[in-house]
Amino acid sequence: MRFARGGNLDWLTDSGDSILLRIFAFATTPDVSKLSSAEEINDAANATLHRFVEANPSAEELGRKAAGVLVFPSAVKAGMLLGGQYGEGVLIIRGNAAGYYNIISASLGFQLGVQSISRIAR
């Protein structure tokens, strides 16, 4: 199976798996009307960082030493056999928003449930 331009994608129409693939693609595609504004992401990231520093006081010093901090205030994971995750975040460099990112993932396997998590990376 190839995904490059001009590749053969007949495998998508030859099996029952194509139905599952289409359902999964529809279920994990973010609703554009619900995307957050930069201000909403910044406010949520700021609140997430404050909660993190309150729980881990040494994180403040680590944040000062880091070249940048990538914060996803809320990433939602959901799954029932097929799973997906979506979240929006901001890269903070020297206290200023340097860029906005999203995180998207998919998984297949035994799983059931919904979870909202925060992620912070330096």
Q: What CA–CA distance (Å, rounded) separates 73 from 120?
A: 8
Closest CA to 48 of 66, 70, 31: 70
Q: Which residue has the higher pLDDT, 42 or 119?
A: 42
C-alpha angle 45-50-51 in degrees, rounded to nearest 5: 100
Closest CA to 105 of 86, 122, 82: 86
* Structure confidence at residue 32 (pLDDT): 43
Closest CA to 72 of 26, 36, 96: 36
Mean pLDDT, residues 1-12 taken together = 40
Query: pLDDT digits over 32-83, tens only?
Result: 445 578 999 999 999 999 999 999 888 888 888 889 999 999 889 999 888 9
Query: pLDDT digits over 88-114, tens only?
Result: 999 999 889 999 999 999 998 888 888
* Structure confidence at residue 35 (pLDDT): 56
Number of helices (H) and strands (E) in the chain: give both, helices first: 3, 2
Residue 30 reports pLDDT greater than 60 = no
Q: Name residue 17's amino acid.
A: D
Q: Which residue has the higher pLDDT, 69 or 13?
A: 69
Bridge partners, residue 72, by sequence: 119
Q: Indicate whether this model's pTM tops 0.75.
A: no
